[in-house]
Structure 1
Amino acid sequence: MTQAGPSAAVLTFTLGEEWCCVEISRIRGVVKHESVTPTSEGPPQVVGTMEYRGEETPVVDPGSVIEAADSQDADHVIIFEQEGQQVGWLVDRAHEVTTVPDPEVDPVTDNEYVHGVIGERLWVEPRRVNDVITDTGS
């Protein structure tokens, strides 16, 4: 196990039956998924687009990137900003923000998109997931 730092505030969310978390400082917002317009353009991980704060935002299924369960009953979109571009993640449900004191992280060596495991949650690295979209120029 490795220590991630003195504490980490994380948002927990689900993809299918998989519990995941992401550091809250990386998140720009969380919205209902109702405003996602399906699209077949762009990389296969892009499931649609939406307007968020006046900006067209690609929405991806992070489960297809991190090789976890695909979103089954999507209810929320988690919005990130990376290098001036917004990217949304379609998730089944955004649950809660919690502070994990002095989190012990079990490293994951076979999945570059997952920082590690905290308890039962996959700690997902948004920069790497979002690079799948932002590196393609879309």
Structure 2
Amino acid sequence: MSAQSATTGQVLEFELGEETYCVSIDYVTEIVDVGDLTQVPNAPAHVEGVMDLRGRTTSIVDPKTVFGIDDDTDGKRIIVFDPAIVQNQGAAGWLVDEVFQVVQISPEQVDQSPANDTGSIRGVVKRDDDFVIWVDPAIVHSEG
């Protein structure tokens, strides 16, 4: 139970395709609208480009590519993460379809992911009659 209780707290829920995902609010510094992205030659497939956010060059990542989500809709919002989680890559943000809300979760709501090959999925949060996939951006960016 101690491992599970360490995974609770506040999370930010967002939409990718038809699914709802969440990340720990501790990783998030701000949420911004999509602006002009500058393409980066020879960047990995999951990097959509870079943006200038408050004087800092921020890499914009498409988590749909990272998680293998087949969806053609263009992201409308960017979740900007604390640069400390991105290691040597600088500031990063995720292109998401919609940002919903910050919610408090308890240990009873979190189940382990049935398929967690990369470790980037912290668990599945049970909510009403739905599930929210809890991802760990620190793991995602350490893999990239």
Q: TM-score range by the shorter chain?
A: 0.7 to 0.9
Q: Identify, as 1 or 2, the structure richer in strand.
A: 1
Change (3 A) 1:52 1:75: same
> C-alpha deviations, 1:21-43, integer Å up to 9, x for none?
00000111110012333444311
Does 1:20 pair with 2:21? Answer: yes
Report the Cα offset of residue 6 of structure 1.
8.1
Q: CA RMSD in A?
A: 2.3
For the Cα contact (< 8 Å) 2:37–2:49, is it kept in 1? Answer: yes
For the Cα contact (< 8 Å) 1:66–1:129, is it kept in 2? Answer: no
User: How many residues matched?
Assistant: 133
Report the Cα offset of residue 93 of structure 1.
0.7
RCO higher in structure (CA 8 A, sep ≥6): 1
| SS of residue paired to 1:87 | strand
> C-alpha deviations, 1:13-60, integer Å up to 9, x for none?
000101000000011111001233344431111011111121111111
| SS of residue paired to 1:128 | helix
Alignment correspondent of 2:74: 73
How many Å separate the matches in 2 of 1:13 and 1:71? Answer: 17
Does 1:99 pair with 2:110? Answer: no
> C-alpha deviations, 1:63-94, integer Å up to 9, x for none?
21122344623110111122362111000011
Identity %: 33
| SS of residue paired to 2:122 | strand
Change (3 A) 1:72 1:16: same
For the Cα contact (< 8 Å) 1:4–1:105, is it kept in 2? Answer: no
Q: Identify, as 1 or 2, the structure richer in helix.
A: 2
Alignment correspondent of 2:93: 88
Counterpart of 2:123 (choices 111, 116, 120) is 116
TM value normalised by structure 1: 0.83
Report the Cα offset of residue 125 of structure 1.
0.7
TM value normalised by structure 2: 0.80
How many Å separate the matches in 2 of 1:3 and 1:30? Answer: 28
Give structure 1 regions of 4+ aligned residues with deviation exceeding 4 angstroms: none
